[in-house]
Structure 1
């Protein structure tokens, strides 16, 4: 991958960035006195929806995901290395596989949970789950589905869908990072997987899950050995953090998440840290003329834009205080 390969893409992205919602747009939505007024603000942007229909059915997710799907489709079509877009799109692929596997295992109709975003179409993923064979999908995707099906056939555990798809998602993410060999992307993927492992470890310990469970749910694709994490977990989450995480660039922020009185870790703040670290890395794209980081920056911005719009609309519908909504919002790209 050559940095110059993205010159044309990044030129197009600069025009896309001009259409992103600004802090002023969010401020107007947050100050809106009702859901109707908040939707009025949104009408002046690139989001298409029927205002009257939306006020009745409150189906915000429908038009938000439609908009996001169109963004991903456009970026897949103009990006020279599709794996760059997959870094963010991949989680939708594995979400859809979880849904389809659970549907196969339980016999329930879960079609409404599918999201049409990703390199592979929903119909292609359906065929893979139905037959266990995939011709177009990445080998990691195919292997993950086959292993989940095998595990369910042997033990009839519906949770195999989630456990195997999470494991293979992180393995796939790492394979993309290894292929691209970009320092910022490697750092981002390290942070995503390592902090997922930490969050999962803490939650599992709170639920008194056995060590065997930890070996199953923690990813082996991070920069910290999952065996080391599990061995140290006997001394508690704070000990794990001190031994393996405080030396990281984000270590100081982690130390602030440990309660001085209870020694417990705030997992909600921990999960939010992933967004913060990703934002800090991709925000570099604001100043880079070449390379893949501007594209990731734009994609991250769109993802958080959709998250923020959803938060505000649901908040206005439920009459949640403006200040509470402001505190819950994700970073605004470029601010």
Structure 2
């Protein structure tokens, strides 16, 4: 892969800065929350150029609008990026999600095709063909290895959870490997932090349901800044003491606030929101980069976060959740 030159991104960075003007702000998110009807809420997204001028989506079908927006964002970046390979890492989670669905459908005898997403780096037809024919040449090497491990392991356990565990490990391995190939400390740092936040969420959830540390070891994702031994030796410590150990990784305050809210409410909402906000804070650093790969990568990550915010709001409004509760769940916006 060719070495990145920041000057190659002069034009594309300018395009991204212009596109950022149409991103969801905190003010716009609040407007969605306060909207009297779901039609008014979704109209805020139309004002941000979601959908097309000839398309009016039923609010109940907002997922199509959000899915189309995700694909549009990636298509935009790939149309202006000097090297497309550097951005596939942000689509790998969707590829691996689809592989999970395909394998579970095969082994459990169910049709879960409706839960597949058409926003991965590999065409859905190619994924389905590759699995059905056990021909992995059209997939990445990592995906092929993951499939082989699932095919070898599942019949021995008949545990659908093992499918998730295996694919998740390979997914984040591949994302980190791809980030390292870019040579960008920003990209590498983001993926490592993402792995850390997932491990922290998993750690808290498993401790709350009294799962043993051996099980945590099975689902732990390698590659983050916080290694497995750190979690392992502190597994039986109370959250307060564990938080002190996180000072070196800059997660102490977030962990304390998140676990305190968990103890008070029994809900993980605050913890998940704070960890998501930590990732948004990381990508906001790219705003001070005049040109380079960072603004493009941050735009894609920020659009993912924006779509998550829109999903939380639309799902909440359709479910009749109060504006106050929706505000508690609201993530930080990029702009």
Aligned residues of 2:192 and 2:225 also touching (Cα < 8 A):
yes
Aligned residues of 1:29 and 1:37 also touching (Cα < 8 A):
yes
Give the aligned partner of residue 146 of structure 1. 148
Q: Deviations over 1:242-278 (max 9, x none)?
A: 33x2212232332333439969997433322332222
Which aligned pairs between 1:36-185 and structure 2 lie closer than 5 A?
A: 36-48=39-51, 54-55=58-59, 58-185=60-187
Give the aligned partner of residue 310 of structure 2. 309
Deviation at 1:233, TM superposition (A): 1.0
CA distance in structure 2 between the partners assigned to 1:205 and 1:27 by the alignment: 34
With over 3 angstroms needed to count, the CA separation of the structure-2 counterparts of 1:252 and 1:101, relative to structure 1, is same
TM-score (norm 1): 0.88
CA distance in structure 2 between the partners assigned to 1:263 and 1:34 by the alignment: 32
Structure 2 counterpart of 1:26, from 25, 29, 54? 29
Give the aligned partner of residue 208 of structure 2. 206
Moved more, 41-50 or 142-151: 41-50
Give the aligned partner of residue 273 of structure 2. 272
Moved more, 3-12 or 246-255: 246-255
Within the alignment, does 1:250 sit opposite 2:254 as a pair?
Answer: no
CA distance in structure 1 between the partners assigned to 2:31 and 2:77 by the alignment: 29
Q: Deviations over 1:185-214 (max 9, x none)?
A: 222222211222222122223323234322
Query: Would you say how many aligned residue pairs link Structure 1 and Structure 2?
Result: 331
CA distance in structure 1 between the partners assigned to 2:300 and 2:39 by the alignment: 28
CA distance in structure 1 between the partners assigned to 2:27 and 2:35 by the alignment: 12
Aligned residues of 2:6 and 2:292 also touching (Cα < 8 A):
yes
TM-score (norm 2): 0.88
Deviation at 1:108, TM superposition (A): 0.5
With over 3 angstroms needed to count, the CA separation of the structure-2 counterparts of 1:42 and 1:6, relative to structure 1, is same
Aligned residues of 2:273 and 2:329 also touching (Cα < 8 A):
no
Aligned-residue CA RMSD (Å): 2.7
The higher relative CO (CA closer than 8 Å, separation ≥ 6) is in 2
With over 3 angstroms needed to count, the CA separation of the structure-2 counterparts of 1:262 and 1:32, relative to structure 1, is closer
Deviation at 1:23, TM superposition (A): 4.1
With over 3 angstroms needed to count, the CA separation of the structure-2 counterparts of 1:53 and 1:14, relative to structure 1, is closer
Q: Deviations over 1:228-248 (max 9, x none)?
A: 4223313344444433x2212
With over 3 angstroms needed to count, the CA separation of the structure-2 counterparts of 1:261 and 1:195, relative to structure 1, is closer
CA distance in structure 1 between the partners assigned to 2:44 and 2:262 by the alignment: 45
CA distance in structure 2 between the partners assigned to 1:186 and 1:208 by the alignment: 33
CA distance in structure 2 between the partners assigned to 1:66 and 1:310 by the alignment: 13
Within the alignment, does 1:186 sit opposite 2:193 as a pair?
Answer: no
Structure 2 counterpart of 1:13, from 13, 16, 26? 16
With over 3 angstroms needed to count, the CA separation of the structure-2 counterparts of 1:306 and 1:145, relative to structure 1, is same
